[in-house]
Amino acid sequence: MRAAVLREAGRLVVEEVPRPEPEPGELLVRVRDCGICGSDLHAAHTLSPGTVMGHEFAGEVAALGPGVSGWRVGEPVVALPYMSCGGCVACRAGDGIRCAAVRSIGLGELPGAYAEYVRVQPASCLRIPERVGFRAAALVEPLAVALHGVRMAPVKAGTSCLVVGAGPIGLTTLLWCRDAGAAVVVSEPAEGRAALARRLGAAATVHPGREHAGSRLQALTGRDPEVVFECVGVRGTLNDALAQAGVRATVVVLGVCLGRTRSSPAWPS
Ligand SMILES: [Zn+2]
Ligand SMILES: [Zn+2]
């Protein structure tokens, strides 16, 4: 099969590699669509040569490993990008990401979906409903990240929310906040992304260099930000998020900052 293999920092090469076989308890999925995560752009400079990335994918069941039942070849699926032991307390509670033996898919441990086929485990697969295409289904993983963050906060009808950054994670966070009935201001310097945030239901967008986003939210809702979502993940943005938060606010960190960053929690501005 073909796969885009990381050959050196920042360079992927499409190569012919052996088609994987599903091991006992696994499914083999034929990849139909795979997103390029913002984290991949950073990880392409840190992961080892030979890595196949890709953790936001949808496809069809291509083969069942020994001992697997309840699935049939051709079924459209999305899968969470990890495999876990299946037997520990975390796995039995359906929380395999906290398994001590968890292995990521597409982030250096198990091969990812920048390839024609990828191995997954049935416990982390969901069938794709008929009305959802593969391309949209490949967004399930980033949508799940954002939904997790919104549930952690939590966000309720009327909660005043500030989303810092309108990349894919910021925009999906905005969607779930709107779904919960929250008022959302998005802080984003790029006008194209800001326009998309307004189309997806942001009450307002602000340019972080020109305007204090928390003040705009206060003007719109009468309240300082009750929840701030950090959805950028570069140096300094966590401190910016802290600086916008109101008294007793919750700051949810969804951006993955791979470098060292400084924050001053008590007096961040
Ligand atoms: Zn990702
Ligand atoms: Zn486990």
What is the ipTM metric for this complex?
0.95
Length of the chain: 269
Is the domain of 129 the same as that of 231?
no
Cα→Cα distances 23→29, 56, 122, Å: 12, 21, 12
Residue 182 lies in a domain: yes
Residue 238 lies in a domain: yes
Please name which of 239, 228, 227 lies closest in space to residue 264, comparing C-alpha atoms: 239
Residue 267 lies in a domain: no
Is the domain of 128 the same as that of 6?
yes
Report whether 222 contacts 251 (CB < 8 A). Answer: no
Q: How many domains does the chain have?
A: 2
Residue 229 lies in a domain: yes
Digit-coded pLDDT (tens) for 211-234? 999 999 999 999 999 999 999 988
Digit-coded pLDDT (tens) for 124-160? 999 999 999 999 999 999 999 999 999 999 999 999 9
Please name which of 143, 101, 142, 147 lies closest in space to residue 121, comparing C-alpha atoms: 101
The structure tokens listed for 56 are 């936001």
What's residue 79's pLDDT? Answer: 96
User: Domain boundary residue among 138, 165, 189?
Assistant: 138
Among residues of the chain, what percentage have pLDDT more than 90?
Answer: 84
Is the domain of 166 the same as that of 193?
yes
Digit-coded pLDDT (tens) for 64-96? 999 999 999 999 999 999 999 999 999 999 889
CATH number at residue 223: 3.40.50.720
Nearest ligand atom owner, CA of 101? 2
Residue 119 lies in a domain: yes
Cα(94) to centroid(ligand 2), Å? 9
Instruction: Give 70's strand partners.
Output: none
Cα(146) to centroid(ligand 1), Å? 11
Chain-wide mean pLDDT for the chain?
Answer: 94
Report whether 116 contacts 3 (CB < 8 A). Answer: yes
End-to-end CA distance of the chain: 52
Is the domain of 44 the same as that of 161?
no
Contacts of 133 (CB under 8 A, 6+ apart): none
Is the domain of 177 the same as that of 94?
no
How many whole angstroms from its chain centre is CA 128? 18
Nearest ligand atom owner, CA of 113? 1
Cα(256) to centroid(ligand 1), Å? 9
Cα(134) to centroid(ligand 1), Å? 17
Cα(54) to centroid(ligand 1), Å? 8
Residue 181 lies in a domain: yes
Cα(67) to centroid(ligand 2), Å? 18
Is the domain of 94 the same as that of 172?
no
Cα(86) to centroid(ligand 2), Å? 5
Is the domain of 67 the same as that of 158?
no
Helix (H) or strand (E) holding 78: strand 76-79
Instruction: List strands edge to edge, sheet with 76-79.
Output: 117-120, 27-35, 56-64, 76-79, 125-127
Is the domain of 47 the same as that of 14?
yes
Cα(37) to centroid(ligand 1), Å? 4
Is the domain of 132 the same as that of 151?
no
Residue 21 has pLDDT above 90, yes or no: yes
The structure tokens listed for 24 are 């006992």
Q: How confident is the model at residue 12 (pLDDT cuts 50, 70, 90)?
A: very high
Residue 266 has pLDDT above 80, yes or no: no
Nearest ligand atom owner, CA of 43? 1
Helix (H) or strand (E) holding 125: strand 125-127
Is the domain of 118 the same as that of 27?
yes
CATH number at residue 93: 3.90.180.10
| Eight-class DSSP state of 165 | -
Is the domain of 95 the same as that of 148?
no
Range of the domain at 208: 143-253
Residue 266 lies in a domain: no
Residues with Cβ–ion distance below 5 A, ligand 1? 37, 39
